[in-house]
């Protein structure tokens, strides 16, 4: 899932020939509409989606169990989450599809949005799903998690 047209074009290019399903949408608490903004303009890739009418109107989607190929018996492997503070929306509501991923790499953005506790739903998700959490802050702000379904990933490296 990627809402920004330039990033989506790059995503298409980088995954050409692979068996992947791409969605041009932002992450939200439910399917609908969001607004995409880039606070740093063309100088950065800090795209953010929000529910108020500021920025470019884009499709918003929640990662629930009805998404395309993932609605069947397919077992996903890796979920990389770098969504500039929208992790609060992603880990709110139905997380059954997200929990099917044995490995989740997340870049938390509490530092970017002080006082908003954007990582709190992610941490609650882990406690409720009884997942293991491995955090690496040496080289980045990302956290790595693995489920009980993939204990062989215990030695997975940092999320750098």
Which of 91, 89, 2 is CA-nearest to residue 50? 89
Q: Bigger pLDDT: 152 or 85?
A: 85
Q: Bigger pLDDT: 102 or 75?
A: 102
**E-assigned strand segments in the chain:** 26-27, 32-37, 48-50, 56-61, 78-81, 103-106, 132-135, 143-146
What's the token pair of residue 111? 């530092």
What's the token pair of residue 140? 């980045």
How confident is the model at residue 158, as a pLDDT?
A: 37
Neighbour tally for 73: CB within 10 Å: 6
**pLDDT over 70 at 68, yes or no:** no
Confidence of residue 42 (pLDDT cuts 50, 70, 90): low
**pLDDT over 60 at 151, yes or no:** no
- Percentage with pLDDT > 70 across the chain: 76
Confidence of residue 156 (pLDDT cuts 50, 70, 90): very low
How confident is the model at residue 139, as a pLDDT?
A: 45
How confident is the model at residue 134, as a pLDDT?
A: 84
* pLDDT tens track for 95-146: 888 888 899 988 888 888 899 999 999 999 999 999 988 877 654 444 445 5
144: β partners? 105, 134
């Amino acid at each position: 899932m990627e809402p920004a047209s330039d990033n989506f074009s790059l995503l298409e290019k980088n995954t050409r020939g692979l068996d992947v399903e791409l969605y041009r949408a932002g992450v939200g608490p439910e399917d609908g509409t969001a607004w995409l903004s880039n606070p740093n303009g063309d100088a950065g890739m800090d795209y953010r989606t929000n529910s108020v009418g500021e920025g470019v109107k884009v499709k918003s989607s929640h990662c629930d169990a009805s998404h395309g190929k993932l609605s069947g018996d397919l077992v996903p492997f890796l979920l990389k989450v770098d969504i500039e503070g929208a992790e609060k929306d992603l880990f709110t509501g139905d997380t059954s599809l997200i929990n099917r991923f044995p490995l989740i790499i997340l870049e938390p953005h509490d530092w970017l949005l002080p006082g908003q506790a954007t990582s709190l739903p992610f941490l609650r998700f882990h406690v409720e799903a009884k997942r293991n959490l491995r955090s690496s802050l040496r080289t980045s702000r990302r956290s790595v998690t693995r489920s009980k379904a993939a204990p062989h990933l215990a030695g997975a490296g940092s999320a750098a």
